[in-house]
Amino acid sequence: MNLKYKFADENLKHKIIEDRRMFHANPELGWTEYWSTWMISERLKKSGYEVYIGRDVCDRISRMGIPTNEVIKQCERRALEKGVPESIVEGMRGGYTGVIGILRGEKSGKKTAIRFDMDALPIQEVQTDINTSYCSQNTGVMHACGHDGHMAVGLGLAEILSQNREYIEGEIRLIFQPAEEGCRGAKSIVNKGWLDGIDEFYSGHIGIGCRELGRIGACTRGFMASTKMDIIFHGVAAHAANAPEEGRNALLAAADFIVAAYDYYQQCSENVRMNVGRIHAGSGRNIIADKAFLEVETRGIDGDANIRLKEKLCRLAESISEKHGVTHEVVVAGDVGTGKSDPELVKCGYDAANSLGLGDMFESDAVFNASEDVVTMMNHVQNQGGKAAYFMFGTELTAEHHHPQFDFNEEVLPLMVEFYSKLLVKKPNKPYHSFGL
């Protein structure tokens, strides 16, 4: 397409795209972003940021959906193999990933925070003609949501901000958040206090809802409240032929639950979503299954609708447990509410887009139509009297988000960097790249 906007600094653009490909080739699941944390923290330190990692970033008990100890240990070993120094891994041990970088401007002023998510998904990437040089090197893990791009944008922005310190008012916090997928990480950063006293807060996403490069949407609505639950049925194992009546079949209970849950969901008139995305049950063909593990999520266009659906599923698990003579437990593995962007910051977004020649491609009332962990941060900032805004950055995709062939047009990355720069650096009418980059 013929886009009016062009990022003028070819060197920086090259670096941003190179960073994105580096992150893409080295994807890490939520709470195991050890290598990514290290790479980002080193770069921020070099650019003069005050940097926090490890237990300084996330509150221990507010972390949700932590992987098993076995997975955590395996990922820590991989980080060491990939060159992360032992002392750094030691500081993050147990899944304390994420980075906070703080830059203080030369002038006094407000506190601003901007958030980039870091985690990948449990998907086996398909190698194509396009991604040959940067296809995932970690089996079964893939950046299929664009968070690799978000991290690269964060680093590109960090560089521009540090070069323009004299034009920055107050303090800027760059938040590199672990475990966005499944809405598991934001709360622990909020509860650690990193969003306290923030006056302006920004975040955004690549490509959601819009496939046209240059189009920017301010999401004012459509953030769905969501709860992620692990439902575990516990039964009794028995010989499948010799004494099946002695067993209590957890697998059958889980199957019964799934069918009943979808039956109920299909009758829902409310604007809700439900999905059972994973099941793991039993241990062998001739054994009555004594355990079944389900990953379930509910969503609602408002918080109450989500809670009603979630509570219905909990009651359903209860009655099905009773029917099959098994027990069950429900573990909340993620949670987020609904949110919205503030009109004042949406207007700032329009001004930023307009200054890039993209004013006519800016949508001031876009619908997100999914859930975003960042809403927990937005709500916290807004509840304290600050303002928040979230933007979607259009770009061409090779496949939908969370698909094994997901990829995007990387031209969107420098555009995002410059858009965010316009929001954060108060320097009128001059291109940022002309300052020593």
The C-alpha angle 82, 334, 267, rounded to 5 degrees, equals: 130
Give least dist CB 226 to Zn ion, A.
12
Q: How far is the CB of 230 from Zn ion (least distance, A)?
A: 19
Number of residues that bind Zn ion (CB under 5 A): 1
Is 367 strand, coil or helix? strand
If the CB atoms of residues 57 and 145 are measured against Zn ion, the closer one turns out to be 145
- CB of residue 119 to Zn ion, shortest distance in Å: 9
Closest residue to Zn ion, judged by C-beta, is 145
By CB under 5 A, what part of segment 2-61 binds Zn ion?
none
CB-wise, 125 or 171, nearer to Zn ion?
Answer: 125
Q: Which amino acid is at 198?
A: I
Q: Does 224 bind Zn ion (CB under 5 A)?
A: no
Q: Nearer Cβ to Zn ion, position 79 or 179? A: 179
Cα 392 to Cα 11, 250, 365, distances in angstroms: 25, 43, 11
Of 58, 120, 145, 375, the one binding Zn ion by CB under 5 A: 145
Question: Which CB sits closer to Zn ion, 145 or 356?
Answer: 145
Between the alpha carbon of residue 428 and those of residues 110, 311, 323, 345, 352, the distances in Å are: 18, 52, 69, 17, 11
Least separation in angstroms between residue 63's CB and Zn ion is 18
Distance in Å from the first CA to the final CA of the chain: 28
Structure tokens at 427: 């320097």
Binding flag, residue 120, Zn ion (CB under 5 A):
no
Stretch that binds Zn ion, among 89-97, 141-149, 225-233, 248-256 (CB under 5 A): 141-149
Classify the phi-psi angles of 65: left when phi > 0, otherwise alpha if psi is within -120 to 50, otherwise beta: left
d(CA 290, CA 19): 46
Q: Which stretch binds Zn ion (CB under 5 A): 51-59, 104-112, 139-147, 390-398?
A: 139-147
Stretch that binds Zn ion, among 145-153, 209-217, 226-234, 284-292 (CB under 5 A): 145-153
How far from the centroid of its chain's Cα atoms is residue 15's Cα? Answer: 23
Q: How far is the CB of 381 from Zn ion (least distance, A)?
A: 20
Question: Using an 8 Å Cβ cutoff, are 159 and 12 in contact?
Answer: yes
Q: How far apart are the C-alpha atoms of 264 and 8, rounded to whole Å? A: 54
Rounded to a whole number of angstroms, the minimum distance from the CB of residue 161 to Zn ion is: 23
> Which residues form the interface with Zn ion (CB under 5 A)?
145
